Amino acid sequence: MRGGDRISPGPRSRALVTGGASGIGRAIVQALERAGTSVEVLDLTTGFDVADPQAWEGVGRVDAAFLNAGVITGERDIAALTDEQYRRALAVNVDGVVLGTRRMARVMRAGDAIVATASLAGLTPIASDPIYGLSKHAVVGFVRSVAPQLAERGIRINALCPAWADTGLLPDDQKALFTEADYPLLTVDEIADAALAAARGEDTGQAWVIQPGREPLQFRFPNIPGPRDPRAAGKLPPLS
């Protein structure tokens, strides 16, 4: 796609942000508004459930969609995990991204962009909340897998993978651990800046790592060992 065909969040453009009433989502909304973008906030506090397929049917085209809504279970012990904690985390963190992307694939035009908020926990283990890690690995895998077909429509999609951030998702007792260790937390504004950069860039299907004190960068996934069967030499699997 030619660079001139891309639509960037800016004056006279429109965007939507899920989970836009607080935290990272609110910071993305504010950054977009500063750029002159008209923003639609889709949040449970305003009556929008990202896990409800019917809710998405009423959403129209935007130039950029930031699928950001997310929750934690707050449960480290898998034996103590409740059904409600498990289902809610997957509904918000995974269904919200999949359903939002499906709707955008139906209404977006060439040059539009989707940015899904995953987490560094989508690339590394997170022993303190395994289900959160499960959901964010799913987001990263989904973004990478759906990117080629969206590219055929001229739509870009990328995932944000921020490290620990100073948001309401991080309980005060855990924030205190970072303070005691003198270990920096990301600010929501740093993540919002990376989100807008991902929406404006030319890349698609990437997982952008955001760490304190450094510029966002694309995660380099390791190569997978190939088959040694001679029938597969020099070939890709037909369902890649």
For residues 149 and 152, give the distance between their C-alpha atoms in angstroms, rounded to a whole number.
Answer: 5
pTM, two decimals, is 0.92
Domain with 17, as residue range(s), is 3-232
Residue 194 within a domain:
yes
**What is the full per-residue pLDDT of the chain (240 aa) written as tens digits?**
233 345 566 667 999 999 999 999 999 999 999 999 999 999 999 999 999 999 999 999 999 999 999 999 999 999 999 999 999 999 999 999 999 999 999 999 999 999 999 999 999 999 999 999 999 999 999 999 999 999 999 999 999 999 988 887 777 888 888 888 888 899 999 999 999 999 999 999 999 999 999 999 999 999 888 898 988 988 888 887
Residue 240 within a domain:
no
Spell out the residues 6+ positions from residue 2 whose beta carbon is closer than 8 angstroms to its own. none
CATH code, domain carrying 141: 3.40.50.720
Residue 38 within a domain:
yes
pLDDT, residue 40, reads 97
Residue 237 within a domain:
no
Residue 238 within a domain:
no
pLDDT, residue 67, reads 98
Task: Read off φ and ψ for residue 117, nearest 5 degrees.
Answer: -80, 110
Spell out the residues 6+ positions from residue 22 whose beta carbon is closer than 8 angstroms to its own. 43, 45, 167, 168
Overall number of domains in the chain: 1
For residues 195 and 114, give the distance between their C-alpha atoms in angstroms, rounded to a whole number.
Answer: 10
- Please name which of 124, 118, 123, 131 lies closest in space to residue 77, comparing C-alpha atoms: 131
Residue 202 within a domain:
yes
pLDDT, residue 208, reads 98
